[in-house]
Structure 1
Amino acid sequence: MNVVAYIRVSTNKQEASGLGLEAQRNYIQTAAHQQGWKIVAEYIDTVSGAIAPDARPECAKALSHKMPIVIAKLDRLSRDVEHIAAFMKRAKDDGFKVATMPNARPFELHLFAALAEQERKFIGQRTKDALGALEQRAKDGDVVATAKVKRRNEALSKGRTGAAAAKAREGVTQRVSVHHAAVRPHIEACLYNECKTLQSIADCLNSKGIQTSRGSEWNPTQVRRVMLALSLSF
Structure 2
Amino acid sequence: MKRYVVYRRVSTEEQSKSRLGLDAQDRDISLFLENFSEGPFEIVAEFEDHLSGKHDDRPQLAAALELVRKTGAELLVSKLDRLSRKVSLIAALMDDPKVRLRVASMPNADKFQLHIYAALAEQEREFISARTKAALAEAKAKGKKLGGLRDKTMKRNAVIQANAKARAEKVAKTVQPLRSQGASLREIADALNTSGVPTARGGKWQASQVKRVLERLEVAS
Normalising by the residue count of structure 1, what TM-score does the alignment of the two structures yield?
0.58
Match of 1:51 in 2: 55
SS in 1 for 2:49: strand
Please state if 1:122 is matched with 2:123.
Answer: no
Q: Describe the superposition over 1:103-132 as per-residue Cα deviations: whole angstroms up to 9, x where unpaired.
A: 100011111111111111111111211222
The percentage of counterpart residues that share the same residue type is: 40
SS in 2 for 1:102: coil
Amino acid at match of 1:152: R
Please state if 1:107 is matched with 2:112.
Answer: yes
Q: Provide the C-alpha distance between the structure 1 equivalents of 2:36 and 2:136, rounded to a whole number of angstroms.
A: 45
What does 1:147-158 correspond to in 2, within 5 Å?
Answer: 150-156=148-154
Match of 2:100 in 1: 95
What does 1:24-103 correspond to in 2, within 5 Å?
Answer: 24-36=25-37, 38-40=41-43, 41-52=45-56, 55-63=57-65, 64-65=67-68, 66=71, 67-90=73-96, 92-103=97-108
Q: 1:20 deviation in Å?
A: 1.0
Q: Provide the C-alpha distance between the structure 2 equivalents of 1:120 and 1:216, rounded to a whole number of angstroms.
A: 31
Q: Is the 8 A contact 2:10 2:51 kept in 1?
A: yes
Q: Is the 8 A contact 1:32 1:39 kept in 2?
A: no
Q: Provide the C-alpha distance between the structure 1 equivalents of 2:36 and 2:13, rounded to a whole number of angstroms.
A: 31
Change (3 A) 1:97 1:216: farther
Q: Is the 8 A contact 2:4 2:42 kept in 1?
A: yes
Change (3 A) 1:147 1:82: closer
Change (3 A) 1:39 1:217: farther
Match of 2:168 in 1: none
Q: Is the 8 A contact 1:4 1:62 kept in 2?
A: yes
Q: Is the 8 A contact 2:93 2:99 kept in 1?
A: no
Q: Provide the C-alpha distance between the structure 1 equivalents of 2:62 and 2:146, rounded to a whole number of angstroms.
A: 47
Runs (4+) of structure 1 exceeding 4 A deviation are 146-151, 158-161
SS in 1 for 2:108: coil
Change (3 A) 1:51 1:103: same
Q: 1:74 deviation in Å?
A: 1.0
Q: Give ranges in structure 1 of 5+ residues lacking alignment.
A: 140-145, 166-214, 224-234
Normalising by the residue count of structure 2, what TM-score does the alignment of the two structures yield?
0.62
Q: Provide the C-alpha distance between the structure 2 equivalents of 1:25 and 1:222, rounded to a whole number of angstroms.
A: 21
SS in 1 for 2:20: coil
Across the aligned residues of Structure 1 and Structure 2, the Cα RMSD in angstroms comes to 3.3
Q: Give ranges in structure 2 of 5+ residues lacking alignment.
A: 162-181, 187-205, 209-221
